[in-house]
Structure 1
Amino acid sequence: MSIMEAGSRRLIAEHCAAIEKSVSWRTLAADLDPVLAQCFNVTARCGCFMQAARSLNIKATRLRKQLAQLETQLQCSLFSPSDNGVALSRDGLQLHSQLIALAHERDLPVIEQPLVRLAVAESILHDILGRDLVALLRRNASVRLDIISLDSELSLRAVSADVVLWLAGTDSPLPGPSFAISEPRRLARLDYLPHIAKRYSRVASRPDSLDDLADFLLVQWQHDRQVDCFRPWNNLVDQRLAGVVQLHSYELMLEMIRCSACIGLLPGYMSRFDRGLIGLPGLFNAPMQRQVWLAVNVHSEGDEQVQMIVELINSTFNERREWFEG
């Protein structure tokens, strides 16, 4: 046999082996369990186990178990150690390329998540619930959540939602949402009083009577003008001929109190939310109080995703119970 003939046969054998291996990977990819294939594809696409788990709405430990199951099934290692996240091994690259070739990653259907509509009072959303909602989204990147900010009684009556969290008087949850809801549940009582930034008011010079407020700029959130129990504060603001700022933005009002030596009406828990602010008790004889109420749409109260939001709200208020006591 000539050297050229031997070399030719060797090349043909290597070519046939490559074809057989390619066909083998294609067959394996086509026969994979769709859930395991999706876990692998999302991990390969994200390059990070944690982000892939969030996208799939599962725990990272469960994702790793499923990927380990896939490697056991294929009898190969699909990932290689890397300092820059998740790196595919040679076999992992082969599998990924075959899955992509199979009708754009097999056209795995995206499981539609139910839309959950959460309507919440703007101040509660900003001060109390916002941080835990962000944490929820970090854990669950596939959630469909519509967050509606309630900044007036009119918006509360007009809104349609699955979960609603609003502020009302101390006697009843009315006025409440206009759609059919479960029995409203009281979560907390909020006491309101004027606040000022500590850095703009030394202890000895802090106002302790209404007359002392004459030398201070007052700032008012326009939404508070509609609240009947805030009448003592609203009357004081209305009497001012100068030194008043009216705002439609809750966040901007907070920023002005923090940075502009203004005095504004805030919930009593504010000194816990922002330790740079301090309340000014004793300025008004009548207490200014509101209640936080929670209710669920009767048509969606049994939905799993709705219950997840309700549990989050209950947990948040339980963890901050000391904010509302005393």
Structure 2
Amino acid sequence: MSFIESTGRQGTTDYRSPPHTPGPWLALAAGIEDEVAQYFMVSARCGCFMQAARSLNVRATLLRKQLAQLEERLQRSLFSFQGSALTLSRDGQQLHEQLTTLAHERKLPVVEQRSIRLAVAESLLHDILGRDLVALLRRNASIRLEIISLDSELALQTISADVVLWLAAGDSPLPGPTFATSEPQHLAQLNYLPHIAKRYSRVTSRPDSVDDLADFMLVQWQHERQIESFRPWNNLVEQRLAGVVTLQSYELMLDMIRCSACIGLLPGYMSRYDRSLVALPGLFSEPMQHQVWLAVNTDSGEEAEVQMLAQLIRNTFAERREWFQS
């Protein structure tokens, strides 16, 4: 509504909105629980219920239910949609101003999370864990997660982390982390085979023996040059006088195999992860293997976030157990 106020000029009037007077319903703001007030303020800031729920680490359905109950209690509609954008209604703006004023006196709870450190073998991070970690972060935007890529045994020996996922040869988890951990848990056995891109190799022309590899360029990840269990492959690469590419980057090695007609040593599950690649079994008589081990730092193993991360890793390997049977 508006009212007419004379400007003192003959024949002219001035149409202005009346000064705002807070409604008595705003007195109820002082009685809003801290948790509900935080749900409202974060939703207003994010402009998205889903993002607000992620930031608060709560289910979106719970957040919407609490805000609906708040609107019912206040008998006011606090949010509105303009297209797909979530905005505050006029009443919502008034409540936001009121809660902002009260915030100096009533400290809204802030959950401070320490950084959780995950140390993981680079190939496992890229091939197996990456997607599930992305899903975890999409569900929980408030988590503080530091990911440490392990690209060598030296890195494994020098890091400190809450959760460690590493590769070891033989049946022992050694060499493993140097700090105190829970008993290492064996998650999988990885069998390694030469791989080539399907697009560069017809079935009839794929190599059937080590001698047949002479017609192909070989690509090797630098980290694997000193691994004893990969000796058959490493000996072949070292004997080459030409036709070899050595790379520091695991991801770039994969790109070389996909796009440059190279042959490289990869885990047997790779054709499940990337269907453009095919394994070349039978070239080497000796098996080339790695074992996957998981351990949790004893100092932080009881923390809920650490347990959640360790369980996510266990679930990921359990869901992909068929990958490791080849």
TM-score greater than 0.5 by the shorter chain: yes
Q: How does 1:81-96 map to 2 (within 5 A)?
A: 81-96=81-96
Superposed displacement of residue 226, structure 1: 2.0
Distance 2:248 2:261 in 1: 19
1:152-205 residue CA offsets vs partner (Å, 9 max, x unmatched): 000001010111000001321010000011111100000001000000011011
Q: Note closer, same or farther for the CA distance 1:203–1:125 as it changes in structure 2 (3 Å cut).
A: same
Distance 2:98 2:105 in 1: 8
**Cα pair 1:151 1:223 within 8 Å, conserved:** yes
**Equivalent residue, structure 1, for 2:204:** 204
Distance 1:148 1:30 in 2: 45
Distance 1:120 1:314 in 2: 13
Query: Is the counterpart of residue 76 in structure 1 residue 43 in structure 2?
Result: no
Letter in 1 for 2:21: I
RMSD: 1.8
Letter in 2 for 1:234: N
Superposed displacement of residue 24, structure 1: 5.5
1:205-240 residue CA offsets vs partner (Å, 9 max, x unmatched): 101111111111100000001211000100000001
**Equivalent residue, structure 1, for 2:35:** 35
TM-score in terms of structure 1 length = 0.91
Aligned-partner SS, 1:188: strand
**Equivalent residue, structure 1, for 2:168:** 168
Q: Note closer, same or farther for the CA distance 1:250–1:28 as it changes in structure 2 (3 Å cut).
A: same
Distance 1:106 1:51 in 2: 25
Distance 1:263 1:39 in 2: 54
Structure with more helix by fraction: 1
Q: How does 1:153-232 map to 2 (within 5 A)?
A: 153-232=153-232
Distance 1:39 1:213 in 2: 62
Distance 1:191 1:81 in 2: 54
Superposed displacement of residue 89, structure 1: 1.9
Over the matched positions of the two proteins, sequence identity in percent amounts to: 71
**Equivalent residue, structure 1, for 2:311:** 311
TM-score in terms of structure 2 length = 0.91
**Cα pair 2:120 2:147 within 8 Å, conserved:** yes
Letter in 1 for 2:94: Q
- Kindly tell me the number of residue pairs found equivalent between the two proteins: 310
- Unaligned 5+ runs, structure 1: 5-13
Q: Note closer, same or farther for the CA distance 1:19–1:222 as it changes in structure 2 (3 Å cut).
A: same
Q: How does 1:195-274 map to 2 (within 5 A)?
A: 195-274=195-274
Superposed displacement of residue 49, structure 1: 0.9
**Equivalent residue, structure 1, for 2:285:** 285
1:69-103 residue CA offsets vs partner (Å, 9 max, x unmatched): 21122121212244223232221121112223445
Letter in 1 for 2:245: V
**Cα pair 1:170 1:189 within 8 Å, conserved:** no
Superposed displacement of residue 109, structure 1: 4.3
Q: Note closer, same or farther for the CA distance 1:105–1:315 as it changes in structure 2 (3 Å cut).
A: farther
Distance 1:220 1:229 in 2: 15
Distance 1:193 1:273 in 2: 14
Distance 1:215 1:109 in 2: 66
Letter in 2 for 1:19: T
**Cα pair 2:156 2:177 within 8 Å, conserved:** yes
Aligned-partner SS, 1:313: helix
**Cα pair 2:34 2:109 within 8 Å, conserved:** no
